[in-house]
Amino acid sequence: MIPKPTNSWIEIRDAIHANILNKTYAAGDKLPRDQDLAQMLGCARSTVQRAMQDLSDRGLVERRRKGGTRIPQDPVTRATLEIPIIRKEVEQKGAVHGYQLINAEMLETPRNIMAGFGLPAPITALRVQALHLADQQPYLLEDRWINIQTVPGVTQIDFARENANEWLLRHKPYDKCDMRFYAIKAGKAEADLLAANLGDALFVIDRTTWINQNPITTVKTIAAPGYQLKTGS
């Protein structure tokens, strides 16, 4: 039995995934219909479909038109990287999350952001720069561009009060995500904001998301020294 989560597709996906891991749903089992799961969980059918699509993309379920959803006989086992809600990530470490908005302004996208979005010409986008804290210490520096054509409601959000990472994950689903991981040497700006020394190696996650081939956001998060990335399966 799947415990009743909230209406978040991510929590529904995780609840179903947990039942796969604990063998409540075994290899070859057929899952309830999306409509039945939606009624059971008190959410929209589209929410269940979004959760199932993510599980299917990861090879954890097989979906066939008119054939329903099954657990594959030979399921894929692999490490996965989630887009985390940074507040929850900090709290799971037993720390108190803090947030400071550095700047939020409408700007024309520079060439590197155009390239990340896959756009042939510049657009006006919202750039949000912010610092996340853990127990009042620097944790992650976030430099984000948001496509206001794909996410028009974002212009009404006060990012001094609500952080873009959490707002987007809760309100704008994505169907494609590209990630890059690399290190940079701390310059003066990064050293000052992240309590690092000039020249320190800092871990960077560079991520872009799309919906229906339309770019949503591209964000570079730079971690304070000592940050660790955890994967799951």
Per the model's pLDDT, the better-predicted residue between 44 and 232 turns out to be 44
Render pLDDT for 149-183 as a digit per residue (tens, 0 to 9): 999 999 999 999 999 999 999 888 888 888 999 99
Q: Cα separation of 26 and 20, whole Å? A: 7
- What's the pLDDT band for 228 if we cut at 50, 70, 90? confident
Mean local confidence (pLDDT), 84-104: 95
Q: Cα separation of 204 and 222, whole Å? A: 5
Res. 116: pLDDT tops 60: yes
Mean pLDDT of the chain: 89
129: tokens are 């720069």
**Cα→Cα distances 172→10, 49, 93, 138, 152, Å:** 12, 15, 26, 27, 11
Per the model's pLDDT, the better-predicted residue between 4 and 34 turns out to be 34
224: tokens are 């304070």
Contacts with 208 (C-beta within 8 Å, 6 or more apart), sequence order: 116, 117, 177, 178, 215, 217, 218, 219
- What's the pLDDT band for 23 if we cut at 50, 70, 90? confident
Render pLDDT for 70-80 as a digit per residue (tens, 0 to 9): 988 765 555 55
Q: Cα separation of 132 and 140, whole Å? A: 5
Res. 1: pLDDT tops 50: no
The domains of the chain, with CATH numbers, are 9-70 (1.10.10.10), 86-223 (3.40.1410.10)
Res. 60: pLDDT tops 70: yes
